[in-house]
Structure 1
Amino acid sequence: MRAAVLALFAAAWCGARAEVIDDVLRSLARGASFLERQHAHINLDGVVGFLMLQAELKEAVRTWPHSDPVSWAQRTTAVALVKRLDQSFDKAVAALQRNDPKYYREFEPLLSWSFWVVPREWSSTERSLVYRSTRTTECYDEQLSDKCLTLLLGTWKMNGTPCIVTKPCRDTMTRFDCPHYSLSHQLLYFMIGRMRGCTNLLKGDTRPSRANMTEHSYQKIFCSNMMKTNQDIMRQGLTEQTVDIFMENILICGLTGFSDFYKADWLRHILQLQDEEVGCFGRDESAVSQVIGDELLEQLQPHRRVKRREKILADGCSSHMTAVAVGALGGYLNFYLSEQDITKRPLS
């Protein structure tokens, strides 16, 4: 009797999972259409988010279970999606190089799907690691963050040595009590360092209180606090102001290997945020006239640096939010396919 109940539960769960994967693939196909249309205008953050998605899709295709015709048909859909994205990337990266050559050169190593390593093992956050209190303002400075990343990547000068960690970078990137985007940039720093092959980002830290800290320790602390942020956001209700950081936390903590970010109800919220007409996320039609004005200003000041954090496109779409959303969805897809133990799947 128990075996029959378990078999029934497994069949129902597999059917539900197939429907969810269909929903994710449909959403990603609309996202790919958006990239195809906007490849010449999307900013560097936007391209990087789609490249994270591409890494996740390629891993998903590689490990896709050949269990039944439905699953195999879904894999065929994913393969077609990978090919579409590959074609768009060539055009998008060429546009980035043309529009902002200095910025392109500094972050060129990130502009390949093969840079982004998809997790094969999973861990979970811990409530006990949440800060007792956090700063009310960000401790993040975009210029310092960019400089620290170029030192890791080796792009701080032509043929620069990679994996350089200065004291200001280490102190900023290991600081506790930072909120929101500061947290996600701290995590991104460690994540990019690991993927670049930098083996000891903490060398030279002589603080006794940090003697036993490893890079994974910091990642776990950051993601535990990012989990608390997301739970608070959900409790208070998603708003236009909080949805971007909510999805960014899912994207980068998921890519770091924290599977408890892949909650089913969070996935439903992300899918509902997509604009059905143009396939993007964060669309604000009232911003269109403002965008046209900004584009005129860019034509008058062609060397003005394009702001990395955000770019609202001519159709009112958010370049950054769309890229973050599709990257997060790719993480969900890859996790659902790679995690074979049904007890660990995010069913609630």
Structure 2
Amino acid sequence: MLLFVIVMLVLEVSSSFPDRDDVLDALDCLVHYMDVHRRELNVDAVFGLRMAEGQLWQLLSNESLIMHLPVSTAHRLRDMAYTIQNIATDAVPYLMNLNRSYFEQFLYVISSPWIKSIYPRKLQLTDNDNFAVQSDADENQYVDFTEEQSDLCMAGLMGTLHKNSERCFISDKCRAFMVSEKASGYYLTHQLLFYSLGKKLGCEVVMRNRLAVGGFDIKEMERTLCGRVYRQMEVLYSTGEISVVDLFLESAAVCAPLGFYQVMKLDWIAFALKWQDDCGCYKDDHDTPQEQEMQHEMTVRRILVDRTMSDGCSAHMSGVAAGYLASSLYWLLVLSRGQLKGTPEAATTPLDVVNTIRIKLKKCVKEINKYSGLHEVLSRVDMGSKYSFLLLLLVFVVGLFVVAYYFRRRLLKRGQIWVHRLFLQV
């Protein structure tokens, strides 16, 4: 009975982590909200939706994944991809009226889904990447690199700086920002977005030549910067505050499509799902003094410009969340099918194995709970933290020792019989 209770407790811990259906429901709910409120979207919301659409099409094109999904799930994925496509198309006239010059400058990033081949890659993590939340003054070595300057760098790549501008233009200041390894906060996510945009535009050769002057390499820069993103997300997650959710989502949304699946930890996905509003959107709410102070420390620089929608929803955060949830769904399915094996950069880590086991355990819990009244007691206890999991694991181990000590004589006797039989066979 003791072992049964312990096992049930461990299973209950695992059930607190999200699975494929949880993320799929969250994304479906968010897309539905943005579909209903498509007239209120801005450029960054549609940009996030286009990123999500690209991830969905990438997923649907992977036959080895889709063939193992229920037909209804595959249909939901396809329906969401088409819905996002319609939202982005129908939102164009409203985006144009909202800010015509800004719309024309960033038309390229919202005109089509962000579809690219995704290859699993391992992060480059070093102790030097351990950093705390920094203030505005110390956040960057390029303090004068503002959001407006970031927009100019993106426009230079897209060829929308001037009427006759050509694509793939990278100024000296933009190059200096590209290779900075000390950026953090939104500066860091802007760097990675710059690389992604450049490759999507076909500017990879120009970028490679510009980086080669200082001995830099695009792939290594992406690996290094996403390593810093991972450390940054550790800090953001540890705060547990809503004030960091926007940057948290954006951090993962720019690295996951590059193949760095390690930013999609199950407890981090659970943290992101926690802040989704009942109506489906995400609200950038900083009502308390503590949250306002935290938001000031992390800075309010965004990829683009935010807009408050109906119900107090944030267009920017909701758009980024769409990209984040689609990436989460993609990597949950890839990890669950073990498709990382055989790739040059993606040896499965112990964490991946644990995460896969947790997903399978959650399915077992759903079945066990149908026949056990113990779930009603356990559901009242918050077992979601990793510390609770470790504590329960310790209790489980101690329980095994207690059982072994209680039956020690019987076990010893049984062992002697086995040894005796072994010698007789020899």
TM range (shorter): 0.7 to 0.9
Tell me the residue number matched to 1:252: 254
Tell me the residue number matched to 1:176: 181
Tell me the residue number matched to 2:84: 85
Tell me the residue number matched to 1:262: 264
SS for the counterpart of 1:203 is: helix
Deviations 1:265-318 (A, max 9, x none): 111111121111x2101264979xxxxxxxxxxxxxxxxxxx933222231111
Equivalent runs, 1:200-219 vs 2, <5 Å: 200-204=206-210, 210-211=214-215, 213-219=216-222
Q: 1:177 to 1:23 in 2, by over 3 A?
A: same
- Distance of 2:100 and 2:240 partners within structure 1: 36
- Distance of 1:172 and 1:187 partners within structure 2: 11
Give the number of aligned pairs: 306
Tell me the residue number matched to 2:26: 27
Deviations 1:238-266 (A, max 9, x none): 21221111111111010111110111111
In the alignment, is the contact (CA less than 8 A) between 1:122 and 1:258 conserved in 2? yes
SS for the counterpart of 2:326 is: helix
Deviation of 1:75 after TM superposition, in Å, equals 0.5
- Distance of 1:21 and 1:85 partners within structure 2: 20
- Distance of 2:219 and 2:211 partners within structure 1: 15
In the alignment, is the contact (CA less than 8 A) between 1:129 and 1:225 conserved in 2? no
Q: 1:164 to 1:95 in 2, by over 3 A?
A: same
Tell me the residue number matched to 1:310: 306
- Distance of 1:122 and 1:234 partners within structure 2: 23
Tell me the residue number matched to 1:153: 158
- Distance of 1:314 and 1:146 partners within structure 2: 27
Tell me the residue number matched to 1:326: 322
Tell me the residue number matched to 1:232: 235
In the alignment, is the contact (CA less than 8 A) between 1:131 and 1:177 conserved in 2? no
Tell me the residue number matched to 1:301: none
Equivalent runs, 1:279-290 vs 2, <5 Å: 279-282=280-283, 284=285
Please say if 1:272 is aligned against 2:274.
yes
Q: 1:129 to 1:144 in 2, by over 3 A?
A: farther
Q: 1:242 to 1:225 in 2, by over 3 A?
A: same
- Distance of 1:28 and 1:323 partners within structure 2: 11
TM-score, normalization: structure 2? 0.66
SS for the counterpart of 1:113 is: coil
Deviation of 1:205 after TM superposition, in Å, equals 5.4
SS for the counterpart of 2:242 is: coil
Unaligned runs of 5+ in 2: 1-10, 289-302, 340-347, 356-426
Deviation of 1:214 after TM superposition, in Å, equals 0.4
Q: Give 1 or 2 for the bigger CA radius of gyration.
A: 2
Q: 1:325 to 1:219 in 2, by over 3 A?
A: same
- Distance of 2:232 and 2:96 partners within structure 1: 35
TM-score, normalization: structure 1? 0.80
- Distance of 1:90 and 1:177 partners within structure 2: 38
Deviations 1:183-237 (A, max 9, x none): 1101111111111111231434576xx32x20111111111111111112223x3
SS for the counterpart of 2:311 is: coil
1:156 maps to amino acid: L
In the alignment, is the contact (CA less than 8 A) between 1:130 and 1:225 conserved in 2? no
Equivalent runs, 1:130-149 vs 2, <5 Å: 130-131=128-129, 136-138=138-140, 139=143, 140-149=145-154
In the alignment, is the contact (CA less than 8 A) between 1:312 and 1:319 conserved in 2? yes
Tell me the residue number matched to 1:100: 99
Deviations 1:1-43 (A, max 9, x none): xxxxxxxxxxx9xxx9xx8221112111111121112211212
Tell me how large the CA RMSD over aligned residues is.
2.7
In the alignment, is the contact (CA less than 8 A) between 1:226 and 1:249 conserved in 2? yes
2:245 to 243, 246, 249: 243
Identity of aligned residues (%): 23
